[in-house]
Amino acid sequence: MHELSLVADLFTIIEEQARQAGAKKVTKVSVSVGELSGVVPDLFRSAFQSYKKGTIADKSRLQLKMVKIKFKCRSCGREITARNIMDESFSYVCPACGSRDMELVAGRDLYLEKLEIET
Ligand SMILES: [Zn+2]
């Protein structure tokens, strides 16, 4: 399961940050999930719930924030947020200048956004 290895990676970061901050426990974990990351929120959530047992984040709540896909045009710099990449009207063409030189700037990654801790 894809989600399980992501959660394992996430906990490596959580434990590292919590240790550095001198935390006794982690109360809340906020994670940004890109729409293109391939993560299924429900699976991620349940992987998190089972993984956290016995860790510093045992009693923590998980908050998932979905991040929309965003492109930036390399020609004119315009940023475009895709409502839905599966939408038939979606294309990789800049609506401002017609360039096809588009760069994906958001929505691909999953990352730890914020930790709330008790010290
Ligand atoms: Zn453009």
Q: What is the CATH number of the domain that holds 62?
A: 3.30.2320.50
The alpha carbon torsion through 112, 48, 42, 5 (nearest 10 deg) reads 80
Give domain status of residue 39, yes or no: yes
Give domain status of residue 92, yes or no: no
* Residue 71 Cα to ligand 1 middle (Å): 10
Prediction pTM value: 0.82
* Residue 102 Cα to ligand 1 middle (Å): 8
Residues with beta carbon < 5 A to ion ligand 1? Answer: 73, 75-76, 78, 94, 96-97, 99
Question: Domain span at residue 11?
Answer: 2-68+106-118
Domain count, the chain: 1
Residue among 74, 118, 116 nearest 97 (CA): 74
Give domain status of residue 86, yes or no: no
* Residue 95 Cα to ligand 1 middle (Å): 7
* Residue 70 Cα to ligand 1 middle (Å): 13
Give domain status of residue 44, yes or no: yes
Average pLDDT of the residues in 45-73: 95
Average pLDDT of the residues in 62-69: 94
Give domain status of residue 63, yes or no: yes
Give domain status of residue 9, yes or no: yes
Residues 8, 55 contacting (CB under 8 angstroms): no
Q: At what angle do helices 41-51 and 2-20 cross, to 10 degrees?
A: 50
* Residue pLDDT, tens place only, 41-53: 999 999 999 999 9
Give domain status of residue 75, yes or no: no
pLDDT at 66: 93
Average pLDDT of the residues in 76-81: 91
* Residue 84 Cα to ligand 1 middle (Å): 19
Give domain status of residue 64, yes or no: yes
Average pLDDT of the residues in 60-73: 94
